[in-house]
A = this chain, B = another copy of it.
Amino acid sequence: MSVKRKAPTLNDVARQAGVSTATVSRCLNFPDQVTAKTRETVMSAVRKLAYSPNFGARVMAVNRTNTIGAIIPTMENAIFARGLQAFQEELRRHGYTLLVASSSYRADIEEEQIRSMVSRGADGLLLIGHERDPAIYRFLETQDVPALVAWSHDCTKSLPSIGFDNRKSMRALAEKVIEMGHRRMAVISAAMKTNDRASLRVHGIRDAMNSAGLDPAELPIIETTYSIDAGAQAFDQLLAAPVPPTAVICGNDVLAVGAIKQARALGLDVPGDVSVTGFDDIELATIVEPALTTVHVPHRDMGTRSASMLIGLVEKKCIGEAIELEADVRLRGSLAPPRA
């Protein structure tokens, strides 16, 4: 149903039911406070006119639903949880409700969810990363629904964004690894083709190798899904190589925790036998032992500022821009120089 159609009003329902608007309102919102007979009369008028409570009047007035949609790749592992929580808190401060959908990192599901959110009358959308079919952007444009990209900064892309430079910050981390003396590194990453954050992070590692005179072509990379078990399996595979790596750089903290878990299972000491690094700095990063050297993503700041900008776009009070936040390296126990 479009939100722009002329909707029946509370008045229409009251007239139809032969009661006051206050009674209609009470019946809809606090059905316990009216008699069963009144409830029946009012609800039959509501059904006849197909009146939708609360919603119609507001939409008529401002042509908005005060609902923002966010489509994130996963609800598991808390990767997006903290940022989304801050996003929701800021939306709420401005009277907006957040509805979230999770695409399981699948482009086809994400597209369905974008269309569903728009059908459901979302005023604006938060999306993660820039990588998607250009037709979706045209769709959002024709539907006049503003969208904002978070978790990825790229000022060359058409959608406004609030994020950090995945490539630059992973490069900074890889430089620390190389500075410590590591030469045999390996990478556990999410699928790079459909995930721009993942591919940018791997590019960052290659940048660091290039500038240190190492050959990025020799870097072993395993692509897998973001889960602790997948990280553990990939680590196992990397360490089985004839000349195993002395440092395993992981695309995120969840994979790194899996790597550390598997190191423990193999009887290897982290960082004595092998160093492991993550990306995100979610709570898991400081719970695991040793604590993870990782890239700290400004989750809450990103969430809050994304909400402000998206509201500005919805209310046509600002023009979207590409804002870059800092994501800095946090050195913790999981990284140390390799054994001599």
Contacts and interface: CB of A to CB of B under 8 A. Distances in A.
Number of copies: 2
A115 B32 CA distance: 16
B43 A142 contact: yes
Given A52-B119, A102-B85, A120-B120, A112 B97 contact: yes
A77 B282 CA distance: 10
B31 A139 contact: yes
* Chain A interface category by residue count: 35 or more
Contacts of A101: 97-100
A199 to B, nearest CB: 24
Contacts of A4: 47, 50
A138 interface: yes
The SS class assigned to the A binding surface is helix
25 contacts: A1-B52, A1-B55, A1-B121, A2-B56, A4-B50, A27-B142, A30-B138, A31-B139, A31-B141, A39-B142, A43-B142, A55-B119, A75-B100, A76-B85, A77-B78, A78-B81, A81-B81, A85-B104, A92-B109, A99-B99, A99-B101, A99-B120, A100-B101, A228-B283, A287-B287
Interface of A: 1-8, 27-32, 39, 43, 47, 50-56, 59, 65, 67, 69, 74-78, 81-82, 84-85, 88-89, 92, 97-102, 104, 109, 112-113, 115-117, 119-121, 134-135, 138-139, 141-142, 228, 257, 261, 283-284, 287-289
